[in-house]
Structure 1
Amino acid sequence: MMMTFLIAVGSLVAICGILALLLVIADRYLNDYGICKLIINKGSREEDVEGGSTLLNSLNSAGVFIPSACGGQGSCGLCKLKVHSGAPPVLPTEEPHLSPEEVSEHVRLCCQLKVHEDMELEIPEELFNIREFEGTVESLTDLNHDIKRLRVALPEGEELDIIPGQYVQIETPAYKKTPEPVYRAYSIATDPHDKTHIDLVIRLVPGGICTTFVFEHMEPGQPIKLNGPYGDFRLTDTEKEMIFIAGGSGMAPFLSMLAHMRNENIQRKVTYFFGARAKRDLICLDEMKAFEEALPNFKFVPCLSEPMPDDNWDGDTGLVTDVMKQHCPDLSNMEAYLCGSPGMCDASVVALTGNGMPEENIFFDKFS
């Protein structure tokens, strides 16, 4: 009886999934919404776009790039714009990311909003300065068993100024995992003195559209589209002692920040707590050692939560938040910078505030 019930439930779930997919396909390919007009900033700019796509993709196709760290999946909440007309009521997928005040001000997630008719919307002027490049994959370097460093050379004669901590979006072209190009966001790991390359640190996500393409299909010499830079994650200009917390590919923005500190002879004290499961998950140890030599007030503290017997590990062990609390019992006059998953960042905020750090002194870049 129980087996029959489970089979029935499984069949129902499968049928619902198929119906949802068919609805998406029907809306995308069968409904003809024609050409719709995007009326931007009270008519200062207008764009004609093909109806039926998301507002995010429609703007991208018109050369207007809106930040979206999750690549349009509705999980990061960054692609907020004010839409004054032409939009349906707020969708359930938008509600977790919108405050009541934002809803009253017509703020929407443009990755969730479909363009079915003419729309009037507001776009911050600074986003019109976001640029798109078609660079070239210069190299792909293994940092460990599931993380690569991707180096992109910008087109000859082009330069990109970045603030350490910012990110870019790269385009994954259509291939077997996606019928159309998609964008994903990655923090910039580049030394900001190098304006002709973009370095990204990418961890393989099983089944991930972009990471699978990078690991299985990308080769040096291939063209690659990217746009940016985006984001306001950056060092403050105070003299407060700093804590960095990240693991895995979350190291990317800190590589750029530390290079900036070295270049500008910034002598603020900083301790970087890097969390990994086992020794095989550590990355960039030689670079961290070089930064310690160049920055006398910098200390790198790797810690392993589950070291393997043959790791012969004599460093710190445990969760990165617990190790940080042991090293830094009083954080009342310090700042913290976090980069990683929402779970890691949230746990770090709890640990930091628990040891006395004011929440306004905590800055983070959450993966989505």
Structure 2
Amino acid sequence: MNILTAPIIVAVLSAILATIIVIIDGIVNNYGEVTININGKKDLKVKGGSKLLTTLSEQKIFIPSACGGRGSCGMCKVKVISDVGPILPTEAPLLSKEEISKNIRLSCQIKIKSDIKIEIPEELFSVKKYKGKIVSIKDVTHDIKEVRIELPEEIEFKAGQYAQLIIPPYDKIKESVQRAYSIASKPSEKNIVEFLIRLVPKGIATTYVHTKLKENQNIDLIGPFGDFYVRETNADMICVAGGSGMAPIKSIIYDMYEKNIKDRNIWYFFGARSLKDLFYLEELRKIEKELPNFHFIPALSEPSPEDNWKGEVGLITDVLNKYLKENQNHKEGYLCGSPGMINACVNVMTKNGIKQEEIYYDNFA
């Protein structure tokens, strides 16, 4: 009898304990209504107790976040004017000394317990959540899909910016996640956004896109975000990308081509391993013929004999370095790729006279 009743007693006691914890949590952590003051001019009356990132999202103010609020991407930074306690161990690795000195915090790690004052870029007020529909999915390489999404309302963005796809729960993934992807389409396509999504082994979002996502399916996205866009100067544009890093550069180049911008030199270096990793070659060659100031330089690091490749061979940084030594014009850098590629390109560019502050990229790592 004891053997049979023991599990029941344990279960009952566990249920009672869980109930007590919920009641105590509701009493102790009942912070009531608090005020979030934004930029000194907008007040939000909200219920206290939740993370700042989540609370702002519920008020339709979307802070960039690529990790779903887990404190790993470091993108959801805001300036906090009021005292919310010391920097947390989860924040410290993702904040520079300068950011800490300026009271920059990760909004996904701050719990709202009392009135709080924050500062965010004004452009975030125009970020929206869109309910889209997949109109096409196309393989552009063996591991990159072109995904086009139709929106019921127009989206305004600058060529080079990004949006966050909301991936629903699937298989063993129990919660929705958000991931940032650069927009590949032109800003003039106001009811369409296009993404280039490379399959990352064990990647939650990329696995979903490559194995689950279907045409005519609905999907939500938030955007636009990012400071990666063309600066209005006369400097030569040195664009470098690899793989799905093609996306924002494609948006920028197609936008400039559509606007027939002929008074600025554009050099686009695209690195790939072999011919099977190159895509949009014909389209970019067509633009090169019709836009005299645009120069497209693809390079293969490990071309196969059957590729019969006649173009540049080697790491894209070596090809870039060779060109930069030959060109002494005023130049700006526009980069998109892996953190390793970006760091290597920044190193090459700065050694060849391009100022660090004139090299632009979005870091999704």
Smaller-chain TM-score bracket: 0.7 to 0.9
Which secondary structure state, in structure 1, belongs to the residue aligned with residue 361 of structure 2? strand
- Which structure: larger Rg? 2
- State the number of aligned residues: 337
Aligned AA (1:286) = E
Aligned to 2:266: 270
Q: What whole-Å deviation, never above 9, does each CA across 1:255-284 have from its counterpart, x for those lacking one?
A: 111111112211111111101111111121
Aligned to 2:232: 237
1:361 to 358, 361, 364: 358
CA–CA distance in structure 1, aligned partners of residues 192 and 61 of structure 2: 22
Matched, 1:134 2:165: no
Aligned AA (1:237) = E
Shift of 1:287: 1.9
CA–CA distance in structure 2, aligned partners of residues 36 and 287 of structure 1: 58
Which secondary structure state, in structure 1, belongs to the residue aligned with residue 63 of structure 2? coil
1:144 to 141, 144, 149: 141
1:308 to 301, 304, 309: 304
Matched, 1:45 2:43: yes
Q: 1:116 to 1:147 in 2, by over 3 A?
A: same
Q: What whole-Å deviation, never above 9, does each CA across 1:214-246 have from its counterpart, x for those lacking one?
A: 111111111111111111111111122221100
CA contact (8 A) 2:81 2:119 kept: no
CA contact (8 A) 1:71 1:183 kept: yes
Aligned to 1:68: 65
* Aligned-pair Cα RMSD in Å: 2.5
Aligned to 1:7: none
Aligned AA (1:336) = G
CA–CA distance in structure 1, aligned partners of residues 355 and 34 of structure 2: 43
CA–CA distance in structure 1, aligned partners of residues 359 and 98 of structure 2: 24
Shift of 1:248: 0.5
Which secondary structure state, in structure 2, belongs to the residue aligned with residue 273 of structure 1? strand
Aligned to 1:208: 203
CA contact (8 A) 2:77 2:104 kept: yes
Aligned to 1:81: 78
Matched, 1:110 2:107: yes
For normalisation by structure 2, the TM-score amounts to 0.84
Matched, 1:296 2:297: no
CA contact (8 A) 2:162 2:182 kept: yes
Aligned to 1:121: 117
Aligned to 1:221: 216
CA contact (8 A) 1:243 1:336 kept: yes
Aligned AA (1:191) = K
Identity, in percent, stands at 45
CA–CA distance in structure 2, aligned partners of residues 179 and 84 of structure 1: 35
Shift of 1:358: 2.4
CA–CA distance in structure 1, aligned partners of residues 171 and 33 of structure 2: 32
Aligned to 1:342: 339
CA–CA distance in structure 2, aligned partners of residues 181 and 202 of structure 1: 18
For normalisation by structure 1, the TM-score amounts to 0.84
1:261 to 252, 256, 264: 256
Is 311-320 or 121-130 further displaced after alignment? 121-130
Which secondary structure state, in structure 2, belongs to the residue aligned with residue 168 of structure 1? strand
Q: What whole-Å deviation, never above 9, does each CA across 1:92-138 have from its counterpart, x for those lacking one?
A: 23223334443344321113x15263351314343222111101111
Which secondary structure state, in structure 2, belongs to the residue aligned with residue 328 of structure 1? helix
